[in-house]
Structure 1
Amino acid sequence: MLLTTSVSICLAQNRVTIKGKIVDSVEKTPLEFATVAVLNVSDSSLISYTLTKKTGEFELHNLPLQREIKLLVSFVSYKSYRKIFNFKEGGTNDLGDIALSTKMMDEVTIKGERIPVMMNKDTIEFNAEAFKTRPNAVVEELLKKLPGVQVNKDGSITVNGKTVSKLLIDGKEFFGNDPKVATRNLDAEVVAQIQVYDDRQNDPDHLVSETKVPKIINIKLKKAIKRSIFGKVFAGGGTRDRYETGGLFNMFRDTLQLSVIGLSNNLNRTAFSNEELYSQGGFNRSGGDALYNGSVNTGGRNWGGGIEKITSGGFNLNTDYGKKLKMNLLYFITERSSVGETSNFGQQFLKNDTTLLSSSRYSSRDKNYSHSVSGLVEWNPDTLRSLRYTPKFTLNSGNSVYDSFGSTDLTVRDTSMRERANESRGNNVNSTNSKSFSQDFYFNKRSRTNKGGSFTISHNLQINPSNDRGYNNNDVISYLPTTPSESQRQLAVNNRNGIAASINLSYRYPITKKLTVDIVTWGNYNRNKEQLLNFKRNDSTERYDILLPLQSSDLTRKQWNEGVKPGITYQLTKKISIIAGLNHQWQQIENNFSYSKLNQRYFFLLPTFRIEAGSFSLSYDKGIEQPWISALQPVTIVYSPLYSYTGNPDLKPTTNTNASLSYWAYNNEKQISFNAYLSYSMAKNTTVSKQTIKSDGAQTSTMVNRDGRPNINGYLSVGKQFKKTKDWQAGVSTSAYAYYGQNLNLLNDVEGWQKNLTMGISENFNVNWKDKVELNVGAGFREADTRYDYDDFKKVYTRNFNLNNSLLVRFPKKIIWETKQDYNYSSQITDGFRKGVNVVSSSLALQMLAKDRGEIKLTVYDVFDQNISVYRYTGTNSVYDTQNNTLKRYFMLTYTYKFNKLSTK
């Protein structure tokens, strides 16, 4: 403590602190969010900055001595205040009130002066030139220097503690919803300004809570740049036959934007990462989730194990017709193949101290092809109307081969007894073909005469036909007299066809300045048809022509939903509003089974309620969930001697009751963000599986209704940044979460509650010194406990600890060294599975050519050759440990060339 005090006194004597208050020159009222910056007079580089409080007060610390510095105060629609200082002694200097006057028409802008941060209504504007970056820096490095902006290790971005949902280039969705391609491939030198504002694209009436609305980053390019071409090409080869190659090309031609991409590798990832390919070249300009809904298959299976090879390519074309009409066209083709191997060990605890021990091994080989075409038409004829139409079409085909071996043993607790119950072998060959068409339409018109009034119409259509064909060869060898051995040679043909269409109309009308009424009416239609035909092989003809009716089904569900929801919004005070509504919902359902029908009619009254109070949001609502049609069919399906299933036509719909509390706050002066979330849910008539497991491992199951117990979710995060010094930048964040839920188990005529409690905490720290050294340190701990309040079922718990660290050092002579570590440890993993996995990867790169456009890199993935995918999960009085094959250690040499051609003509 004495040492800390001495250092603080020393720093105070060698640095300067200034404080003051910004007010209006006429009204003498304080000005909140005025920008107060200190610049070097010699080169106009930023030394420090802050934004004023509600009281107009500000304070800047650690300013230099014996140097000319400029104090620059700016606020929208006011004249800027400028004053030069040269402090000779340390200490605190109180500048008192600084009065700003409104701008005059003849004000002259001082050439070369950069206002680093400006609040323009709800938009934060950053001047890129006020934040110095190294030569050849990319946009991501620029963003890391901006106040309130946090770039995480995975490339995701938050602003003032809120997630960035999309990144725009000059107001256009050129890089889709994920910003990483733009931030990691676009040079910072072409950026003039960065704007940050709320994502209200589909929420023009501001119905989404302020605590939950994400942010948009808009990168405005320098006006002098009329045309540009940028991208990169790369190729690499390594040990264990590992390789990667690819390239991306982007072209700006005023209103025309073109992106072409191609890649191939066997490294369990795309060449630019899943998210980078998703957003590269504006693939989301088509307005949707083309990659994540399967229409553009990019692989990336690091999370689940297996080794994957992917080859893909496509183009994306964007064009603007004037300032009102935007259009997009996307085409993509992908080939993906994967090889997976899995080992699994399970323990199922039964009555009479009996435990089923199951061991299994699986291997799979998959190959898939896909084509995708999508588009966008966006029309904004004026400031009051907007229209958006997004069609998509996908075509997928694939085949797979699946081999398995499993065994089940019986043991009696506290004895040495162990008896083999059965063994099984399987070989499955499957092929699949599917098509998908969807379209979304959205139109909004705001009232010209009544502020707050609006009319919205939206429509969605989805058509998804598919067919699967699989040959299943399964052999079950039973060692117990209660279960016979059996060999199955079957063909399964599954044809599915789904159609979903919806239309929504909403109208809002302000009655008074405080009261707005709205009415929403909607209707949708869903038709799902699934025909499953199982055939047994005829041993005499060796053809699959013997239909198995007990393993086949023909299901069709037609469902019509209509609803009317009147509601109100009442502005109690400037910061407090109440939003309430009552949803009247009608449902008509036709269920057609193979030999019977079931018609259902329902009417529901579902209230919604929300209170918005500044940083707080409290919400309450009810919802309805229908059971799957397969759970309703009144037949018993025998899948094998070890498993059968019986439907229950008496199942009722589930009513879910939900409540949540959110809090979000950000302190501009201290750069501290705070997020908290708490939710509660309760279910009535929830659908629960009722199981019977015999001592030989044979299982039967059905579905029943029971009322649920509460589920509670909680989340809390706190983050602070240190960005007010020139050479050093740092950030620290802490997050914690907890989940508590109770699930009803019905096992072997014993009914009771399974209580699950999961808690976790994570800590992250990052520091940057002069863009030469970047250190990121992360650690986390997670514990999951499962308890039972009935019978003698066993308590199960899992604990996991992880470290995620990275270090990047830019040496002289254009040498870059980077090392990453991902460490996971779980002490409860069963014997025979690895408890700790420490994956350390390192690379050494040499930059070359003009502006460091070329780079040759040597990478060592998994230095200690420990990578493996291992995890534990719990079930109904059971615990399972699973291990998958993953990418092992390899060495790779890669050459990358980045090109960026700018034209100012």
Structure 2
Amino acid sequence: MENVLKKLFVVLLLCLVQSAVCHADTFKGKIVNAETGEILIGATIRSEINPQPGWSMQNQTETDSTGCFFLNASWEGRIMFTFSMIGYKNARKVDYAYGKEVNDTTDLGIIKLQPTALMLKDVEVTAKMPRITMSGDTIVFNPEAFKLKEGARLDELIKKLPGVENRDGKLYWNNKPIRLMMNGKNLFGGDQIIGQLPAEVAGKLKLYDRKSELARHTGKDEGDEDHVLDIQVKPGFLDKWYGNVEAQYQTKKRYMFNVTASKLSDHDPQMVYAQANNANRYIDRTMNSSMNANIDGDGKSQYGSYNYQHNWQTKGADKFDNNSFDISANMGHSDGWNTIGKSTETFFPNQERTFAVSESYRYKHKITPQMQARLFAYTDSLNTISVNVKATYEKIRNTDEYKGASYGYEPNQFEYHSLSAALAAKLGDALYERLITRNRNYQSSEQQTRGINIDYTWKHFLGKKGSFSLQGYTNINGANEDTHINRNLEYLREKRSETVWQYYDRSNHNLSTRLGASFDYWFGKKVYVNILDNVTYSRTRTTRDFFTDNNEQNVVGGTPTTLDPTNAMSYLMHKWTNQLTLKSTITPVKALMIMPKFSWNVYRENTDYRYGPLDTTA
């Protein structure tokens, strides 16, 4: 085994040597704050070379977490570097690049960027209190070394940490997502709650890599870890409520109100959110998600949620446990509507000119109550259980109306007519004689969707060797839809009209369940093996009954009674899946990691599909 690994290592080393043959002149350096000497992370370095007159080659990079940078130059010529960062004055440096013919590294040394006056005023670093200190592999930030405005929130402090950035509401450190914790426990409310807490709650901010539960038991790293920002709360700030209330009012059609409150606690944190607005916004917030979006062209909504967590420790498992039970209940309601009017002129050579007017209107009413509960707990020092249950319901009522008319005209005698005038024109009217078509469509539907999802895991740790777990899920959901359609099209020049009434009810029911086992094991210090086997069964049934009538005598209460077999359908599928995965991580030497993987998937499907006859000759 060792001989095989040695040969493989030699082959990989030769590949690396061959790939290094591509030469390029390299420039390196380090960027710091000219006032404090603090390294600047994420500073931008741009280079520009003019190999020939009128020809410019540019390149760009950023400093890493140590403030250093490397930049390659593949062309020969005078090269100018520009160093920049928000809040600092730009700096420039000129050198000479020898291009591809030279494989050399030029050290530009330490580049010092001078802070702007605004930066000096906003951020103050004292000599007695450094911003950053190291404690083993943990980076510790001192909040008091950052100058913040009075009343600043915790999220404002976190955004000032070197290397931290906010992308679409999610925090990243050096391009890696951050998991927020508080006093060593998961922060209830995550990225959402930090905008409510005052910055002064933080005594220290610790940044470190948190190992997986398996790695914490075995002491060996299998590569599954989180980038954690742990907020150490000052004494006296726990077990208190924090939040804010916002209200805006313009007219009866334009108002917005929301209240957000969170209880900061090591044992029983809570979060409450409520909002109401008539400003076309749908906003929701739960313990692990949020949304803020337009409803339609116009709209109003109301929403409320309550979220609670209980944390505790298991006797004998204090070293590992982070036990918690979460529950969330929320209710959302929205009404959205939109009206669109159009007028269109159509003209082609040697053809009659036409003018068309139309108006469409839509309305949607929606309610969405949901409940969710999560549990993670150590039953003792070697066993954990995890259960997640989510129940959802959604009810939607839609109304869509369309009205349109078209008529011919002479360009030199054009007269605009409104849609209402075109629809009201009767035989004998001047406008009626010019009408080509009139169209009225109406559609209404009601949809209901229900679902419940349960996933569960039991894991047993095998001392420092690995773990064995059983996991699975069950997902049951269904949907029903009832739709009414009425269309009326008049061909006035042909003195005929078409009217159709349609109705269909559609139902969909799904069941999916999985049961699996996973085995993780370390053979010595250099070989890690994971075996996973999952068996999944799913059943899907869809049916649609369709009715169509052109004769109003067969329509009862606006609903047609004649079955339309062409558009009726039924569908039933059974599916079995067995997935076996074997993967390993082998580290023969510190600089080399081999990760082989084998997967075996077996699928079996059985489908019963029925659809009405189709007229293929048409």
TM-superposed CA distance for 1:562, in Å, is 1.0
Give distance in 2, aligned partners of 1:511 and 1:17: 47
Contact 1:342 1:363 in 2 (8 A): yes
- 1:320 and 1:512, CA in 2 relative to 1: closer, same or farther beyond 3 A? closer
TM-superposed CA distance for 1:554, in Å, is 1.1
Deviations 1:201-259 (A, max 9, x none): 6996999978xx87443322113434211111222201472001121222245511222
Q: Of the candidates 372, 375, 381, which is equivalent to residue 374 of structure 1?
A: 372
Give distance in 1, aligned partners of 2:490 and 2:539: 41
- 1:473 and 1:16, CA in 2 relative to 1: closer, same or farther beyond 3 A? closer
Give distance in 1, aligned partners of 2:555 and 2:511: 37
Deviations 1:785-818 (A, max 9, x none): xxxxxxxxxxxxxxxxxxxxxxxxxxxxxxxxxx
- 1:335 and 1:203, CA in 2 relative to 1: closer, same or farther beyond 3 A? farther
TM-superposed CA distance for 1:404, in Å, is 3.3
Contact 1:327 1:376 in 2 (8 A): yes
**1:449 alignment counterpart:** 464
Percent identity over the alignment?
19
For the pair 1:321 / 2:291, whether they are aligned, the reply is no
Q: For residue 195 of structure 1, give the secondary structure of its aligned residue in structure 2.
A: strand
**1:238 alignment counterpart:** 250
**1:748 alignment counterpart:** none
For CA contacts below 8 A with separation 6 or more, give which structure has more relative contact order: 1
Give distance in 2, aligned partners of 1:570 and 1:258: 44
* Superposition map of 1:682-693 within 5 A: none
**1:228 alignment counterpart:** 240
**2:476 alignment counterpart:** 463
- 1:62 and 1:555, CA in 2 relative to 1: closer, same or farther beyond 3 A? closer
Contact 1:34 1:119 in 2 (8 A): no
Q: Which amino acid aligns with 1:159?
A: W
**1:417 alignment counterpart:** none
- 1:254 and 1:585, CA in 2 relative to 1: closer, same or farther beyond 3 A? closer
Give distance in 1, aligned partners of 2:359 and 2:237: 59
Q: For residue 293 of structure 2, give the secondary structure of its aligned residue in structure 1.
A: coil
For the pair 1:506 / 2:518, whether they are aligned, the reply is yes
Deviations 1:266-309 (A, max 9, x none): 22335xxx4xx435xxx22xxxx6x6xxxxxx66227xx52221
Give distance in 2, aligned partners of 1:591 and 1:361: 43
Contact 2:384 2:459 in 1 (8 A): yes
TM-superposed CA distance for 1:563, in Å, is 2.0
**1:570 alignment counterpart:** 586
Q: For residue 184 of structure 1, give the secondary structure of its aligned residue in structure 2.
A: coil
Q: For residue 435 of structure 1, give the secondary structure of its aligned residue in structure 2.
A: strand
Contact 1:116 1:128 in 2 (8 A): no
Q: For residue 134 of structure 1, give the secondary structure of its aligned residue in structure 2.
A: coil
Q: Of the candidates 139, 154, 160, which is equivalent to residue 139 of structure 1?
A: 154
Contact 1:162 1:214 in 2 (8 A): no
- 1:135 and 1:547, CA in 2 relative to 1: closer, same or farther beyond 3 A? same
Contact 2:214 2:467 in 1 (8 A): no
**2:170 alignment counterpart:** 156
TM-superposed CA distance for 1:636, in Å, is 5.5
Q: For residue 147 of structure 1, give the secondary structure of its aligned residue in structure 2.
A: coil
Contact 1:299 1:310 in 2 (8 A): no
**2:89 alignment counterpart:** none
Contact 2:449 2:480 in 1 (8 A): yes
Q: Which amino acid aligns with 2:171?
A: I
TM-score of the aligned structures, taking structure 2 as reference length: 0.64
Q: Which amino acid aligns with 2:293?
A: G
Q: For residue 195 of structure 2, give the secondary structure of its aligned residue in structure 1.
A: helix
- 1:480 and 1:503, CA in 2 relative to 1: closer, same or farther beyond 3 A? farther
Contact 1:299 1:308 in 2 (8 A): no
Q: For residue 235 of structure 2, give the secondary structure of its aligned residue in structure 1.
A: coil
* Superposition map of 1:529-678 within 5 A: 529-537=541-549, 539-543=552-556, 544-594=560-610
Contact 1:114 1:129 in 2 (8 A): no
Q: Of the candidates 418, 428, 433, which is equivalent to residue 448 of structure 2?
A: 433
Give distance in 1, aligned partners of 2:35 and 2:270: 51
Give distance in 1, aligned partners of 2:330 and 2:308: 12
Give distance in 2, aligned partners of 1:392 and 1:173: 20
**1:268 alignment counterpart:** 280
TM-score of the aligned structures, taking structure 1 as reference length: 0.45
TM-superposed CA distance for 1:131, in Å, is 2.2
Give distance in 2, aligned partners of 1:386 and 1:439: 17
Give distance in 2, aligned partners of 1:241 and 1:637: 50
Structure 2 gaps, min length 5:
1-31, 40-63, 68-108, 116-125, 315-320, 345-355, 408-434
For the pair 1:300 / 2:314, whether they are aligned, the reply is no
**1:330 alignment counterpart:** 328
- 1:183 and 1:495, CA in 2 relative to 1: closer, same or farther beyond 3 A? same
Give distance in 2, aligned partners of 1:191 and 1:400: 49
Q: For residue 509 of structure 2, give the secondary structure of its aligned residue in structure 1.
A: strand
Q: Which amino acid aligns with 2:173?
A: V
- 1:117 and 1:330, CA in 2 relative to 1: closer, same or farther beyond 3 A? same
Q: For residue 562 of structure 2, give the secondary structure of its aligned residue in structure 1.
A: strand
Give distance in 2, aligned partners of 1:301 and 1:386: 42
Give distance in 1, aligned partners of 2:565 and 2:36: 86
Give distance in 2, aligned partners of 1:208 and 1:263: 44
TM-superposed CA distance for 1:503, in Å, is 2.1
Q: For residue 515 of structure 2, give the secondary structure of its aligned residue in structure 1.
A: strand
Give distance in 1, aligned partners of 2:460 and 2:497: 68
**Over aligned residue pairs, what C-alpha RMSD do you find?**
4.3
**1:720 alignment counterpart:** none
For the pair 1:125 / 2:118, whether they are aligned, the reply is no
Contact 1:18 1:59 in 2 (8 A): no
For the pair 1:365 / 2:363, whether they are aligned, the reply is yes
* Superposition map of 1:394-413 within 5 A: 394-404=392-402
Q: Which amino acid aligns with 2:377?
A: W
Give distance in 1, aligned partners of 2:598 and 2:153: 50
TM-superposed CA distance for 1:465, in Å, is 1.6
Q: For residue 324 of structure 2, give the secondary structure of its aligned residue in structure 1.
A: strand
- 1:209 and 1:362, CA in 2 relative to 1: closer, same or farther beyond 3 A? farther
For the pair 1:392 / 2:405, whether they are aligned, the reply is no
Q: Of the candidates 179, 194, 197, which is equivalent to residue 183 of structure 1?
A: 194
For the pair 1:488 / 2:506, whether they are aligned, the reply is no
- 1:196 and 1:528, CA in 2 relative to 1: closer, same or farther beyond 3 A? farther
Give distance in 2, aligned partners of 1:479 and 1:124: 80
Q: Which amino acid aligns with 1:586?
A: V
- 1:188 and 1:562, CA in 2 relative to 1: closer, same or farther beyond 3 A? same
TM-superposed CA distance for 1:533, in Å, is 0.8
Give distance in 1, aligned partners of 2:213 and 2:463: 19
Give distance in 2, aligned partners of 1:204 and 1:408: 72
Q: For residue 300 of structure 1, give the secondary structure of its aligned residue in structure 2.
A: strand
* Superposition map of 1:830-841 within 5 A: none
- 1:266 and 1:317, CA in 2 relative to 1: closer, same or farther beyond 3 A? same
Q: Kindly name which structure, 1 or 2, has the bigger radius of gyration based on alpha carbons.
A: 2
Contact 2:456 2:472 in 1 (8 A): yes
Contact 1:390 1:440 in 2 (8 A): yes
Q: For residue 135 of structure 1, give the secondary structure of its aligned residue in structure 2.
A: coil
